[in-house]
Amino acid sequence: MLPDTMGLTFLAFCLPFLGALVAPALTRILGHNAAWPLALVPAAIFLHFLGFNAEVARGEIVTGGYAWVPSYNVSFSWLIDGLSLAFLLLISGIGTLIVLYAGGYLKGHPHQGRFFSFILMFMGAMLGLVASDSFLMLFVFWELTSITSFLLIGFDHAREAARRAALQALVVTGGGGLFLLAGLLLLWNVTDVTQLSLLMSFGAEVRASPFYLPLLFLILGGAFTKSAQFPFHFWLPNAMEAPTPVSAYLHSATMVKAGVYLLMRLNPVMGDTPAWETILPAFGGLTLIVGAVLAIRQSDLKLMLAYTTVASLGLLVMLTGFGSQHAVAAAALYLVAHSLFKGALFMVAGLIDHETGTRDITRLGGLRRAMPVTFLAALLASLSMAGLPPFFGFLAKEEIYAALAGGSLRAVAFTAAAVVGNGLMFAVAFAVALKPFLGAPVKTPKHAHEGPALLWIGPVLLAVKGLVIGLFSAAAHALLTSPLASAIAGKPQTVTISAVPHLGLALALSVVTIVFGIAVFLFIDKARAAANRLVEDIGWGPDRGFDQVMTGLVRAAAAITRLVQPGRMEIYMTATFAVIALALLVPPAVYGEWPRLPVWPADMPFHELAVMALAVLGIGAVLTARNRLTAIVALGIQGFCVALLFLLFGAPDLAFTQFMIETLSVVILALVMTRLKLTPRDHRPLREKIPDAVIAIACGLGFSLYLLKVTQGRFDTALTDFFNLYSKTIAHGANVVNVIIVDFRGTDTLGEIAVVMVTGLAILSIIRIRKGRA
């Protein structure tokens, strides 16, 4: 790769974030027309990555990047093969249309600039995620998509439902991200590589590793939460609280596919094992059925589409894990087809909502005259979703059936799941695309008319693209789907399916699906009622479960807080000192490491003895003091004696500081004590004082033994020698203590004085609060 291409690619990854920076200012100047210049950002990225198409179609893998933290083997590096490139093109291509669409959809919204900023940030995160080569980058961008998704879902933050949905999405996908992190760390541990491109050659090691199963569960924990697999599917429909451009972009075309991307990426490494080929299709198939049934139940256009997205993601996971060559090709085809038609249909739903004021399917009808262009887009997209020839969706579905159909019980079961799921999605596609437009016009909250070009340009282009790819399938396979399938399979693959129906089992299954779909569509009101009854009979769902878990978490946190933070000073003090005593006494007791009793020095000078006696007298004075103030002052006697001992043993700096500290602490303690409004004397009965005395003695004993033990250990003089030797020559100071504080360990001191200042501020504010209350 040429160096300037590398720089340009790096720029392409940074460009969305730069766009996000200027978006608010640009929107303030240009209003909703800022969408036009801002759409240039993803358009330029799209064109840049289109340039890699030829290389990737030849089967080459483009890598590049920069060292980031070389000592930890962390780099900012990317890996562009068929899989990444398909995602990169989808993200930037659909992103261009979404930016334009958002320009029309949120026209006049006071926070439109912020919206552009968020969506460009998300785009940058998503581009980074699918192109990441290093594990760390993958994780960072993965979490960044969760965070930007949180911001976008909660964009309409004044509504409680939006806030709840945003939080739910963040908790589920962000929590899943932690699973992913653990999984990546484990992968790193098992293989000792931190880059996906290198990981590819370690497939056998990973599969044979004793940690394979934990690893699989961790990775699936990340992928299933992100891609809304059952039982984590509930956050995705709730995320429809977001403005429609977000639903079309994040929650159908791109972000929710990140989990699928991860599974596809790791398929060559972790796939081809019984666990992989059981868990993935099972959960995928279950998600497909659950999603499709729940979609039938809805009458809100966006929610219907959201649940079919859940179903489609299930289908993709099922295909990824199914483990045959055709399944991989089918996954590749369906991935691209789904992004195109689902993105278009979401934009259509938003367009209908925007122009008529409702998206309840039972209150819509006869819009074909008022909104002909929208009708065209809806029709084309839904024909692709329904899987009719010659649309792209048809290719995908044929390939799916070709992949699944087989003689074994497993194949029959999954084929049945696919037929039922696809049939229900067929019905939903027709319901979304036909019901609002056909029949007699129904009065809508707003007078219906065609939306502005900004709004219909996106869905029309995406829908037409679905038709074009279907018609020119050979070119599309060569450029897009074959490299994509090769990357998923980890070995070269060619996709050959075309839009010309060819007799066979797959076509027969397609016909069955279409008949079943039409039947459901004709009786969709009855089907909806039946699905509703089913869900009501079950009653409890993961969505409610989420609320229960969150409520439980808050309650548990409150209970623990009440337990450890009761707000009573004496409990804090008792707990602190009891823990200190235990920490000092338990380890030597457990390991039998008691210090030897020191020998009493024979020739102890009289003045040293006198100072020690004075210190002991001071303690006696504290214990026998009649009131608290006297006790505090008496404590000072002991402190001054210790300072004297320091002085006698040649530590003038220490002694000096000890004198000052003693003086000030007596003064401040006295001030605090008078503030606490305590009775002058301790009137508690003896049996309440005894536990305190025990803790105090245990602490004192613990510290004494600890100091004895330390001084009996071997003393390493390396540092002392160093400081003594270099204090004068390097730091120009004779006072070693001071030189250490201000020069050798200056950065420590800087941190310490910052702590001193912050502590001062904290104490000051506590005093202020008390004053305010009084």
Partner 1 sequence: MTTLIFRTVAPFLTALMVLFSLFVLLRGHNEPGGGFIGGLIAVSAFAIYGIANGIAAVRRALWFHPMAISAFGLFIAAIAGLMSIFFAVPFMTGLWVYPVILGVEIPLSSVMLFDTGVYLVVVGAITSIALALEAEEDA
Q: How far is the CB of 632 from partner 1 (least distance, A)?
A: 14
Task: Return the number of the residue (720 or 765) whose C-beta is nearest partner 1.
Answer: 765
Q: Residue 554 interacts with partner 1 (CB under 8 A)?
A: no
Q: Residue 680 interacts with partner 1 (CB under 8 A)?
A: no
Task: Return the number of the residue (692 or 743) whose C-beta is nearest partner 1.
Answer: 743
Q: Residue 735 interacts with partner 1 (CB under 8 A)?
A: yes
Task: Return the number of the residue (201 or 724) whose C-beta is nearest partner 1.
Answer: 724
Q: What are phi and psi of 685, to 5 degrees?
A: -70, 160
What amino acid is encoded at 653 in this protein?
A: D
Can you tell me which of 440, 671, 686, 718 binds partner 1, judged by CB under 8 A? Answer: 671
Q: Which two tokens stand for residue 704?
A: 């004494």
Q: Residue 551 interacts with partner 1 (CB under 8 A)?
A: no
Q: Residue 515 interacts with partner 1 (CB under 8 A)?
A: no
Residues with Cβ within 8 Å of residue 745, at least 6 apart in sequence: none
Q: Residue 771 interacts with partner 1 (CB under 8 A)?
A: yes
CA quadruple 256, 259, 265, 269: dihedral, nearest 10: -170
Residues with Cβ within 8 Å of residue 241, at least 6 apart in sequence: 153, 156, 159, 161, 162, 165, 166
Q: Residue 759 interacts with partner 1 (CB under 8 A)?
A: yes
What amino acid is encoded at 733 in this protein?
A: G
What is the DSSP track for 361-384? Answer: GGG---TTTT-HHHHHHHHHHHHH
Q: Cα separation of 544 and 611, whole Å?
A: 71
Q: Residue 747 interacts with partner 1 (CB under 8 A)?
A: yes
- Longest CA pairwise span in the chain (Å): 115
Residues with Cβ within 8 Å of residue 476, at least 6 apart in sequence: 469
Q: Which stretch binds partner 1 (CB under 8 A): 207-215, 242-250, 622-630, 765-773?
A: 765-773
Q: Residue 725 interacts with partner 1 (CB under 8 A)?
A: no
Q: Cα separation of 227 and 499, whole Å?
A: 29
Task: Return the number of the residue (61 or 742) whose C-beta is nearest partner 1.
Answer: 742
Sign (positive or negative) of CA dihedral 246, 252, 253, 255:
positive
Long-range contacts of 109-112 (CB under 8 A, 24+ apart): 111/155, 112/27, 112/31, 112/32, 112/34
Q: Residue 757 interacts with partner 1 (CB under 8 A)?
A: yes
Can you tell me which of 668, 694, 710, 769 binds partner 1, judged by CB under 8 A? Answer: 668
Burial class (CB in 10 A: 0-12, 13-18, 19+), 2: exposed
Cα 384 → chain centroid: 33
Nearest to 458 by CA among 340, 605, 584, 282: 340
Q: How far is the CB of 610 from partner 1 (least distance, A)?
A: 24
Q: Residue 763 interacts with partner 1 (CB under 8 A)?
A: yes
What amino acid is encoded at 26 in this protein?
A: L
Q: Residue 687 interacts with partner 1 (CB under 8 A)?
A: no
Can you tell me which of 491, 711, 738, 769 binds partner 1, judged by CB under 8 A? Answer: 738
Q: How far is the CB of 759 from partner 1 (least distance, A)?
A: 7
Q: Residue 761 interacts with partner 1 (CB under 8 A)?
A: yes
Q: Residue 770 interacts with partner 1 (CB under 8 A)?
A: yes
Q: Residue 579 interacts with partner 1 (CB under 8 A)?
A: no
Q: How far is the CB of 734 from partner 1 (least distance, A)?
A: 4
Identify the three-state secondary structure at position 650.
coil
Can you tell me which of 536, 734, 772, 773 binds partner 1, judged by CB under 8 A? Answer: 734
Q: How far is the CB of 633 from partner 1 (least distance, A)?
A: 14
Q: Residue 564 interacts with partner 1 (CB under 8 A)?
A: no
Asked whether the beta carbons of 509 and 419 are under 8 A apart, the reply is: yes
Task: Return the number of the residue (683 or 732) whose C-beta is nearest partner 1.
Answer: 732
Helix (H) or strand (E) holding 63: strand 62-69
Task: Return the number of the residue (1 or 763) whose C-beta is nearest partner 1.
Answer: 763
Task: Return the number of the residue (410 or 745) whose C-beta is nearest partner 1.
Answer: 745
Task: Return the number of the residue (214 or 652) whose C-beta is nearest partner 1.
Answer: 652
Task: Return the number of the residue (369 or 770) whose C-beta is nearest partner 1.
Answer: 770
Cis geometry, peptide bond prior to residue 210 (ω within 30 degrees of 0):
no
Q: Residue 657 interacts with partner 1 (CB under 8 A)?
A: yes
Task: Return the number of the residue (412 or 668) whose C-beta is nearest partner 1.
Answer: 668
What is the DSSP track for 64-99? Answer: EEEEEEGGGTEEEEEEESHHHHHHHHHHHHHHHHHH
Q: Which two tokens stand for residue 623?
A: 């214990």
How far apart, in Å, are the Cα atoms of 742 and each of 199, 254, 548, 728, 758? Answer: 49, 55, 55, 14, 20
Q: Which stretch binds partner 1 (CB under 8 A): 225-233, 255-263, 436-444, 748-756?
A: 748-756
Q: Residue 733 interacts with partner 1 (CB under 8 A)?
A: yes
Task: Return the number of the residue (546 or 640) whose C-beta is nearest partner 1.
Answer: 640
Task: Return the number of the residue (52 or 744) whose C-beta is nearest partner 1.
Answer: 744
Q: Cα separation of 251 and 303, whole Å?
A: 11
Q: Report the site for partner 1 in 235-294 (rule: CB under 8 A).
A: none
| Residue with tokens 């996954």, as numbered in its chain | 331
Q: Which two tokens stand for residue 221?
A: 């924990």
Q: How far is the CB of 649 from partner 1 (least distance, A)?
A: 14
How far apart, in Å, are the Cα atoms of 382 and each of 142, 392, 425, 434, 553? Answer: 31, 11, 10, 9, 43
Q: How many helices (DSSP H) and strands (DSSP E) are in the chain? A: 33, 2
CA quadruple 150, 151, 155, 158: dihedral, nearest 10: 80
Q: Residue 660 interacts with partner 1 (CB under 8 A)?
A: yes
Q: Which stretch binds partner 1 (CB under 8 A): 141-149, 249-257, 418-426, 648-656?
A: 648-656
Nearest to 19 by CA among 138, 102, 139, 99: 99
Can you tell me which of 412, 522, 764, 769 binds partner 1, judged by CB under 8 A? Answer: 764
Q: Residue 57 interacts with partner 1 (CB under 8 A)?
A: no
Identify the three-state secondary structure at position 242.
coil
Task: Return the number of the residue (441 or 751) whose C-beta is nearest partner 1.
Answer: 751
Can you tell me which of 213, 508, 610, 667 binds partner 1, judged by CB under 8 A? Answer: 667
Can you tell me which of 653, 700, 710, 720 binds partner 1, judged by CB under 8 A? Answer: 653
Residues with Cβ within 8 Å of residue 588, at least 6 apart in sequence: 594, 705, 709
Q: Residue 676 interacts with partner 1 (CB under 8 A)?
A: no
Q: How far is the CB of 72 from partner 1 (least distance, A)?
A: 21
Q: Residue 663 interacts with partner 1 (CB under 8 A)?
A: yes
Q: Residue 769 interacts with partner 1 (CB under 8 A)?
A: no
Q: What are phi and psi of 627, to 5 degrees?
A: -135, 170
Q: Residue 562 interacts with partner 1 (CB under 8 A)?
A: no
Q: How far is the CB of 664 from partner 1 (least distance, A)?
A: 6
Q: Cα separation of 355 and 98, whole Å?
A: 18
Q: Which two tokens stand for residue 602?
A: 């024979």
Q: Residue 731 interacts with partner 1 (CB under 8 A)?
A: yes
Q: Residue 760 interacts with partner 1 (CB under 8 A)?
A: yes
Q: How far is the CB of 681 from partner 1 (least distance, A)?
A: 20
Cα 25 → chain centroid: 29
Task: Return the number of the residue (406 or 733) whose C-beta is nearest partner 1.
Answer: 733
Number of chain residues interacting with partner 1 (CB under 8 A) = 43
| Residue with tokens 């946190």, as numbered in its chain | 557
| Residue with tokens 């990340």, as numbered in its chain | 222
Q: Which stretch binds partner 1 (CB under 8 A): 12-20, 89-97, 691-699, 732-740?
A: 732-740
Identify the three-state secondary structure at position 195.
strand
Can you tell me which of 67, 515, 553, 664 binds partner 1, judged by CB under 8 A? Answer: 664
**Contacting positions for partner 1 (CB under 8 A):** 652-653, 656-657, 660-661, 663-664, 667-668, 671-672, 674-675, 731-735, 737-739, 741-743, 746-747, 749-750, 753-754, 756-757, 759-761, 763-764, 767-768, 770-771, 774
